[in-house]
Amino acid sequence: MSHHLEFYINGQWVKPQGTQTLDVINPATEDAIATIALGNAADVDLAVAAARKAFESYSQTTREERIALLERILDVFKKRMGEVAEAITAEMGAPDKLSQMAQAPSGVGHFAAALHALKNFEFEEQIGTTQVVKEPIGVCGLITPWNWPMNQLTCKVAPALATGCTMVLKPSEVAPLSALLLAEILDEAGVPPGVFNLVNGDGPTVGAAMSAHPDIDMMSFTGSTGAGRQVMINSAGTIKRVALELGGKSANILLDDVNFEKMVAHAVLTCMNNTGQSCNAPTRLLVPANRMDDVAAIASAVITKVKAGDPKAPDTVNGPVVSKAQWLKIQDLIQKGIDEGATLLAGGTGLPDGLSKGYYVKPTIFTHVTNEMTIAREEIFGPVLSIIAYEDEDDAVRIANDTVYGLSGYVSSADLERARKVARRIRTGMVHLNGAALDNNAPFGGYKQSGIGREWGHHGFEDFLEIKSIFGYHPKQA
């Protein structure tokens, strides 16, 4: 078992101010695989002081200097990609293939997107005699989750570095190993001391201290809507900017002209990806009422291909969920679906057949779900798909929008123009048409209780920048 009992502050690994520690649990085996130190408010003070001091010089670096830094980070990251993938599989249970092909490479994707955006970003513009300047906001507090650990780390760290900010990171204490590797990568790449700082800890202690800290200028948080609400409350006393990427209950609308064999299969597999632990997962599948039985038959066949088991086995599709607490929450929600009258098509409560250890969930599908049921309202964050019938296109849009969330949506039709029109009616920050993939250069974020602000690409720079108007900067024209 490895021990990570130091924090990365001011370019060095330093001992914590307190003595509290936490075991990191491998969810596939339920064994402790590492120990981390848990920080406190005093650790946050030290990290913030380092970031504040470093901001004086780092905020004045040129675009060219920051481009060179991001290029060095990319070079080092690519060399250590295998280590990152191994850490992610161990800390949160992602299957090896997913860690190697998506989880770890997401870090390269976000640094590359930030590099591309930095090369072309307009930091200044002239309006009449006024020069409008976009400047780094200052010291940023970053709090990241466990479900796509490297993805969420780098889509915050990369734009912060690109825009000239300094930062203090609190990664998830449940899955901190990949974040510690990122600190090593940034150090090797030559990120100046104090620009990036890492303090491990829990939300109520380290997260709260960061949010309330008078010398942190903005908070960027990804996680549950409830925790995001607390970040806003804690940040209110210092009127700091808050950027939030929160939960979702995304609808996947299959219009009546689609190839159902193809798109139902795509819907099931997309929902099950990362064992359902994605905030933008299409967890509500909306289908024409007169095709419910057909859809059920297709989904029933497809779900048999979703094998839950050892993340290191080559045929595994679903690894475990991240923790016992998550497993128990998902079990309760599956039981609620049964109790409230949804039809259990596949899966259900308990461990999958043949598994007696690990936080594994049966890949589960409910049909004949109504949008008033708990499983259609609450974010389950596990491999659970709810299939809901609609009467016509307007009804599908109504059901899709009938949620407190607004992160993502999915619309499929044989007629692309029809799909486009429906997409424009969906109240979400993102919509995928006919199975289109995400784009690292396009904005990621949501409406309503799914968050505030946008991440990824050049849109992801905006929350890290302040806008200054310098009046009379240009002489008046004669």
The DSSP string of 39-101 is --HHHHHHHHHHHHHHHHHHTT--HHHHHHHHHHHHHHHHHTHHHHHHHHHHHH---HHHIII
Q: Are 443 and 457 in contact (CB under 8 A)?
A: yes
Instruction: Examine the domain organization and report whether 304 and 370 are in the same domain.
Output: yes
CA distances from 397 to 107, 390, 409 (A): 34, 9, 10
CATH at 270: 3.40.309.10
- The active-site residue out of 86, 91, 173, 245 is 245
CATH at 125: 3.40.605.10
Instruction: Examine the domain organization and report whether 211 and 297 are in the same domain.
Output: no
Q: Is the pLDDT of residue 478 over 70?
A: no
Judge whether 204 lies within some domain.
yes
- pLDDT for 374-414, tens place per residue? 999 999 999 999 999 999 999 999 999 999 999 999 999 99
Q: How many CA atoms lie within 13 A of 232 on its CB side?
A: 15
Q: Which ranges of 103-148 would DSSP assign to H, the alpha helix?
A: 105-120
Judge whether 237 lies within some domain.
yes
Instruction: Examine the domain organization and report whether 39 and 146 are in the same domain.
Output: yes
Q: Are 359 and 308 in contact (CB under 8 A)?
A: no
306: its two tokens: 């979703």
Instruction: Examine the domain organization and report whether 227 and 327 are in the same domain.
Output: no
Q: Minimal CA–CA distance to 219: which of 152, 208, 163?
A: 208
Work out the average pLDDT over 131-158.
98
Q: What's the pLDDT score for residue 82?
A: 97
pLDDT-derived band at 477 (thresholds 50, 70, 90) equals: confident
Instruction: Examine the domain organization and report whether 137 and 11 are in the same domain.
Output: yes
Does the annotation count 245 as an active-site position?
A: yes
Distance separating alpha carbons of residues 177 and 88, to the nearest angstrom: 7
Instruction: Examine the domain organization and report whether 427 and 464 are in the same domain.
Output: no
Domain, as residue range, for 353: 251-439
Instruction: Examine the domain organization and report whether 135 and 178 are in the same domain.
Output: yes
Q: Minimal CA–CA distance to 8: which of 129, 184, 165, 153?
A: 184
Instruction: Examine the domain organization and report whether 195 and 332 are in the same domain.
Output: no
Q: Minimal CA–CA distance to 70: which of 140, 118, 135?
A: 118
Count the domains in the chain: 2
Judge whether 68 lies within some domain.
yes
Phi/psi class of residue 93: alpha, beta or left (left: φ > 0; alpha: ψ in -120 to 50)? left
**Percent of all residues in the chain with a pLDDT value above 70, rounded to a whole number:** 100
pLDDT-derived band at 85 (thresholds 50, 70, 90) equals: very high
Instruction: Examine the domain organization and report whether 166 and 220 are in the same domain.
Output: yes
Judge whether 271 lies within some domain.
yes
- pLDDT for 213-242, tens place per residue? 999 999 999 999 999 999 999 999 999 999
Judge whether 282 lies within some domain.
yes
Count Cβ atoms within 10 A of the Cβ of residue 47 and give its class: 0-12 exposed, 13-18 middle, 19 or more buried: buried
Q: Is the pLDDT of residue 1 over 70?
A: no
Work out the average pLDDT over 200-220.
98
pLDDT-derived band at 321 (thresholds 50, 70, 90) equals: very high
- Cα 217 to the center of its chain, rounded Å: 22
Instruction: Examine the domain organization and report whether 143 and 181 are in the same domain.
Output: yes
Q: What pTM did the predictor assign?
A: 0.96
Judge whether 134 lies within some domain.
yes
Helix, strand, or coil (residue 458): helix
Q: Minimal CA–CA distance to 141: which of 15, 20, 240?
A: 240
Judge whether 22 lies within some domain.
yes
Instruction: Examine the domain organization and report whether 287 and 409 are in the same domain.
Output: yes
Judge whether 477 lies within some domain.
no
Q: What is the β-pairing status of strands 12-14 and 7-9?
A: antiparallel
Q: Is the pLDDT of residue 2 over 90?
A: no
| Arithmetic mean of pLDDT over the chain | 97
Instruction: Examine the domain organization and report whether 456 and 321 are in the same domain.
Output: no
